[in-house]
Amino acid sequence: MQFEKVVRKRRSVRKFADRPVDTDLIKEVVMFAQRSPSWVNSQPWQVYCASGNSLAEIKRRYQQNDDQGVPTNPDLAVMSREQWAPQEQANMKQWGHQIVHHFPDFATAHATMTNASQSLYNSPVILFITIPKDSPDWSIFDAGAFTQTLLLTATNRGLGSIVTYNSVRYPAVLHQVLTVPNDQRFIVGVSLGYVADEPINHFRSDRVALNKLLHFR
Ligand SMILES: Cc1cc2nc3c(=O)[nH]c(=O)nc-3n(C[C@H](O)[C@H](O)[C@H](O)COP(=O)(O)O)c2cc1C
């Protein structure tokens, strides 16, 4: 696929079809992501691929934690909206407004988003990206670059994707189910799969005007 088309086509998928993803395709996507740049080529990322029974167990334990009101405890701290800088707060507010108005009414929007989130988007595969706990902030940057290459490669190969905090909000569950060493920390989960033809997947997020971020001096 033409590169610009790939960039435009990538968007967050919040409902995947009931169709598995071939293991060779997953390997290929991760191999391309390895071409990402990193500080002194440190390549700090590890990828733990959950599908089938392991992913079902993660979903079951997340649901159990939610039902019991277990507080979420992601390895990267979550900041309350009010603590963010004003422009970013405004961007997030705008996104929330637009996604709600994508649906016929608030109740439908709320129910659809809650279901998407609780079912982990019906993902057939989640790639959990970790870096060592003993890493500088630069490694988080590198993991981000790795993730973006992964997302674009997935798009190029006909796969839908979404990167989520939601899938890494209970790291203790992930350490146990995926037998991830305790010296690793979870950055994000990347769901991969085939896109279901559902209204939630027809939503397109917008972007701020270029002059709000590009400053010629
Ligand atoms: C680090 C990170 C975490 C995210 N976590 C979630 C999440 O937990 N749930 C969700 O629905 N979307 C999540 N997203 C997706 C963003 O909402 C999405 O990328 C943004 O709205 C732009 O839309 P687009 O990806 O369709 O272009 C996350 C994105 C990033 C980069």
Closest CA to ligand 1's atom 10: 164
Structural domain includes residue 130: yes
Kindly state whether residue 141 falls inside one of the protein's structural domains.
yes
Q: What is the DSSP string of the chain?
A: --HHHHHHH--B-S-B-S----HHHHHHHHHHHTTS--GGG----EEEEEEHHHHHHHHHHHHHHHHTTPPP--SSPPPPGGGS-HHHHHHHHHHHHHHHHTSSSHHHHHHHHHHHHHTGGG-SEEEEEEEESS--HHHHHHHHHHHHHHHHHHHHTT-EEEEESGGGS-HHHHHHHTT--TTEEEEEEEEEEPBP--GGGG-------GGGT----
Q: Report yes or no on 153 lying in a domain.
A: yes
Give pLDDT, residue 147.
98
Which pLDDT value is given to residue 53?
A: 98
- Report how far ligand 1's centroid is from the alpha carbon of 87 (Å): 17
- Residue range(s) defining the domain that contains residue 36: 3-79+121-203
CATH (domain of 54): 3.40.109.10
Task: Report if residue 94 sits inside a domain.
Answer: no
Encode the chain (217 residues) as per-residue pLDDT tens digits.
799 999 999 999 999 999 999 999 999 999 999 999 999 999 999 999 999 999 999 999 999 999 999 999 999 999 999 999 999 999 999 999 999 999 999 999 999 999 999 999 999 999 999 999 999 999 999 999 999 999 999 999 999 999 999 999 999 999 999 999 999 999 999 999 999 999 999 999 999 999 999 999 9
Query: Ligand 1: which of 151, 162, 203, 205 to mutate, judged by most atoms within 8 Å of the beta carbon?
Result: 162
20: in domain: yes
Residue 176 lies in a domain: yes
Within a domain: 211: no
State the total domains in the chain.
1
Residue 214 lies in a domain: no
